[in-house]
Amino acid sequence: MISRRIIRTKVLQVLYAYYSSEEESVNKIEKELFFCIQKTYDLYYYLFALVLELADYAESRIEIRQNKHQPTYEDLHSNTKFISNQIISQLKQNKQLYTYVNQRKLSWACYPELIKDLYNFMIESDFYNEYLTDSKNSFLNDRKFIDNLFNKIILVSEDLYVVLEDQSIYWNDDIEFVISMISKTLKQFNDVSDSEQQFMPMFKDEGDRNFARDLLRKAIINNDELREMIKEHSKNWDVERIAFMDILIMQLAITEFLFFSSIPTKVTLNEYIELSKFYSTDKSRNFINGILDKTLKDLKKGEKIVKAGRGLVGES
């Protein structure tokens, strides 16, 4: 499920591309936004498929050893605990995973070296060897191992990041969030999960989809008004020298202040300050915080902030 933080990140990225090009079609840039979000959701399934590729590779290695001309005792009695992992078995028969991966044509077939490198990385890890030698066989242990595989091997693999960057310029920014989605999904699997076990939807609900569309559109349509507010509250600064990404972060934050009545201003402020940690410098972050704080106070003073709904105590 794509969180609102990721939605804000995608809107920021697309907005930057919009103003950095000669593109003037809001409809076209909106399509680009949803394409980016779809790609993040693709990565969610793509990484699940990667674990199955690792299991297939591990199985092929066992078969090669067993079919040697003169196999040793160890070759004939390889530890199959990984390839027999209950989560892997459930994923292999999962209809939703199979259908999505095939419909979206998500394949690791062109990356055999990556699969090999990840496998070698995995079998050298402590948690892998502890798993193989643990005499206890339980679903919870199997699930914990797969979660560790995602968080201790896949998440930190530099080779994987190179491969993902070749396929999508957005994926390297997404992988940490997507693996957190995967960890949440794994918790929904249990020892009786079958082929109908559900994965997370792309959006929590239609409200989140609308939020993505409206945030982008309102930021563009109200561009002049929003930029004027930023200029007004940056009087002691040369606006031309303010980093463009900083301006866009503030533009989106003020858009939420003004046009999203159900989102508390404190939430908006915190979310965009957090976003600035990844897309701005430390000095910029303090600057953004100060400008947004002054802007918010003036908007409240002018009674331009209208909020309604639960969790909005103290907004007036």
User: Considering the entire predicted model, what is its pTM?
Assistant: 0.91
| Selected residue with higher pLDDT from 83 and 78 | 83
The pLDDT value given to residue 75: 66
Over residues 200-210, the pLDDT tens digits come to 999 999 999 99
Taking each helix axis from N to C end, the angle separating 26-66 and 4-20, rounded to the nearest 10 degrees, works out to 120
Number of H helices, E strands in the chain: 15, 0
User: Which amino acid is present at 1?
Assistant: M
Integer angstrom CA distances of residue 130 from 115, 122, 133:
22, 12, 5
Gap between the Cα atoms of 105 and 192, Å rounded: 29
The pLDDT value given to residue 311: 56
Compute CA 103 distance to the chain's CA centroid, rounded to the nearest angstrom: 21
**What number of other Cβ atoms are within 10 A of residue 278's Cβ?**
10
Over residues 297-306, the pLDDT tens digits come to 999 999 889 8
User: Which amino acid is present at 133?
Assistant: T
Over residues 110-137, the pLDDT tens digits come to 999 999 999 999 999 999 999 999 988 9
User: Which amino acid is present at 249?
Assistant: I
Catalogue all structural domains in the chain, each as residue range(s) with its CATH number: 4-186 (no CATH), 222-301 (1.10.940.10)
Gap between the Cα atoms of 170 and 32, Å rounded: 12
Candidates 218, 294, 221; CA nearest to 263 is: 218
Q: Is the pLDDT of residue 314 over 70?
A: no
The pLDDT value given to residue 77: 72
Residue 97 near residue 91, CB atoms below 8 Å: yes
* Strand residue runs (E) in the chain: none
Gap between the Cα atoms of 271 and 306, Å rounded: 19
Task: Identify the band that residue 163 occupies on the pLDDT scale cut at 50, 70 and 90.
Answer: very high
Gap between the Cα atoms of 316 and 312, Å rounded: 9
Q: Is the pLDDT of residue 237 over 70?
A: no
